[in-house]
Chains A and B, each alone.
Chain A
Amino acid sequence: MSAPDREAYAARQAQLLDALLRGACAPDGFDAERAEAAGRSLRRKRAGAVARAWPALALDLGPEFDARFDAFARAVDAPASGDPRADGLAFARTLGRDPRRGDDARAELLLGRAALRRGGLFVGAAWLRRPRRRLLVVARLPWLGVVHRSVPRGRLWA
């Protein structure tokens, strides 16, 4: 048998990948309905992993989570590491700032950004509302790792 054509093989696999991950048309000969179902199932699996890694964000988005994540997943591949925390952070960035976002989701996002910052320093802050308005400051520092303090608004300017 002649040597297999790895390039052609790669191209066919890439086509299938597009169909499954992005919801593109299934390549010739594939059962289109099955490919669509398989793609949905894979995106749902990915969404589930992200929801488990970012529980407050998922809870905050509520019933919107599924549709918004699906739209994100069709446009953006999962990170090479496969890490659902990194995947969720990329997803959260596409949501932008939303004044309706709850305290838990804000805190989760800030802590997640600090934890996932590669090898570098991180300082960030977010306003939380309950039980009273306060500023959550999160930092990632050499030796200490991720540390956080919450400062009530009244004391912030004192």
Chain B
Amino acid sequence: MTMPTTPVTWRLGQGAAWRPQLDGALARADGLGFIEVIAEAIGERELPAGVAAALARGLRVVPHGVSLSLGGAERPDPGRLAHLAAVARRVDAPLVSEHIAFVRADGRESGHLLPVPRTREALEILSENVAIAREALPVPLALEHVAALVQWPDAEMDEATFVSELIERTGALLLLDLSNLYANAHNHGYDALESLVRFPLDRIAYVHVGGGRFQDGVYHDTHTDPVLPGVLHLVEELFALTDAPGVLLERDGDFPPEAELAAELRAIADAARRGSEHRVRA
């Protein structure tokens, strides 16, 4: 099952993950080009009013799946794929995204995005699952690498190599999550920037940025805290390397006052702009 490589044809600009609690703040936020919705939280017919309003304002909507378990041993479930496809059609999505992770095993749901072993065997299984998913989807698929505190012991390659191989094999796109990169680099003791340059940056569909915090020396990718300066620095470095098609803030809880959210969006846009200026000058 070989599928063609997807070209990136969109400019999404600045984005924010849509959550019901952020409905008002995002409706009033300046300069948003797109929002992301959790596909499993959206019905196939009736859209949440805020999402429908965003579409009417001309924002692009990207469905983000969390339950396909593409890194799982089972082939992706046709029902879940059909739902993701239906939501993509419903919001006229330019693309959809999912994770390089497994969420269930042996019929048990973890409720979380768990890491896969970075082995040739896992690559085989993932590639097959991704091909099945792409067949069922009406739009391109972008794959996101996850933050993981625990790592499989039998890694045959590092994360940047593993993700590059997967993107290369499947023809899918990359959803680069700079917070996940920051988390894994810190928690597993390698250099984030050195890793970043080896990701397939020419295959980026868009970029995730989220908040987190340090606890007992471990960085937790909480999405309920502010975005740390180290992550903003990676945004700047990324845009100094490449003009990524979009960058999106994920906030899932402990929602800040509207002004604070707006300031965080501005800080991300500023970091991207500073990076772009370096790139253009270089």
Contacts and interface: CB of A to CB of B under 8 A. Distances in A.
B124 A31 contact: no
A45 B102 contact: no
Nearest to B120: A1
A14 B111 contact: no
Contacts of B154: 29
Interface stretch (A36-44, A96-104, A114-122): A36-44
Interface residue tally on B, bucketed by range: 35 or more
Contacts of A7: 73
B158 interface: no
Interface in B107-127: 108-112, 114, 117, 120-122, 124-125
A154 interface: no
B108 A10 contact: no
Most chain A CB atoms below 10 A, which of B66, B102, B148: B102
Interface of A: 1, 3-7, 9-14, 16-17, 20-21, 26, 28-31, 34-35, 37-38, 41-42, 45-46, 48-49, 52, 77-80, 82
Interface of B: 40, 66-67, 72-74, 102, 104-106, 108-112, 114, 117, 120-122, 124-125, 148-154, 216, 218, 220, 222, 224, 253
27 contacts: A3-B124, A10-B72, A12-B117, A13-B102, A13-B106, A13-B114, A14-B105, A14-B106, A16-B150, A17-B108, A20-B110, A20-B150, A29-B153, A30-B153, A31-B150, A31-B151, A34-B149, A34-B150, A37-B218, A38-B150, A42-B112, A45-B112, A46-B111, A52-B253, A78-B111, A82-B67, A82-B111
